[in-house]
Structure 1
Amino acid sequence: MLRSKNYDANPEYDSVSFFIKNDGGDVFNISIKIFKEKLISNNFISSLRTFQEESIYIQEDRILTPFKLEISSDSRLGERSSEYYLFEAHINEYNTPSLIHHGQGHQESQVYLTVTKIKGLEDGN
């Protein structure tokens, strides 16, 4: 299961943070990849136990929405499986960017993303 947290569209860099929760059996060798037209980011988690939740924070030069996410993992039996998600920023009166100020002049323009499970990387936008 994947839950979105927020997206920071900053002129210097973009970041996205979200949670993944393992609703099934233990999984291993977890690969988390972000795609636009090509691979943008490739991250790795060694394992997630049943019902364990992991917070993911990815910062890259440009992660423009919409983008797609692939999560692949190995089961205890060594079977590889993948799930795919589409992240979109629907900015409207209910989801307006929030400006958050941090120390040393850094600020974030955060907006919540909608996350849709898709069949593969070719699906969605």
Structure 2
Amino acid sequence: PDIIAYITQIMNNKCAYVVSDPNGNGGVYFDTKEFEHQAGGMTKYGKLAPNSQQTEEFFPWENQEEERLDRDGDEQEDMKKRDARDFVLWKFRKEGEESLNWKSPWGSGRPGWHIECSAMIHSVMQTFPNHELQVHAGG
């Protein structure tokens, strides 16, 4: 329940969106561009990615003029990721994949690889607000 609540909070903040993929690769994805937009450009998610051999930019698509997607609709669904840096928060269950799936507001599936750590840290920090987290080394 903590992971679903955490993803719901991210969606309510407009930093996640649903990808509907008829091939079974859909899910709820983190919107890195919207996160950067809301932070006033103060973040550069993926900054440590290797440079492209053809350009000095980390992400060549950053400077391309791109039509902003309408984020006003609550149930807006896309057919593909909006940005190559976007990562899955909730992976939809593929047909025939019966193990390890749970019901969610978006459909049956499982958490993405790293959302467990984020939800766990969020939950612990809510429980112990006067404590600091120095380092989380993953699991």
TM class by smaller structure: under 0.3
**CA radius of gyration, larger in:** 2
The structure carrying a bigger strand percent of its residues is 1
Structure 1 length as normaliser, TM-score?
Answer: 0.27
Structure holding more helix per residue: 2
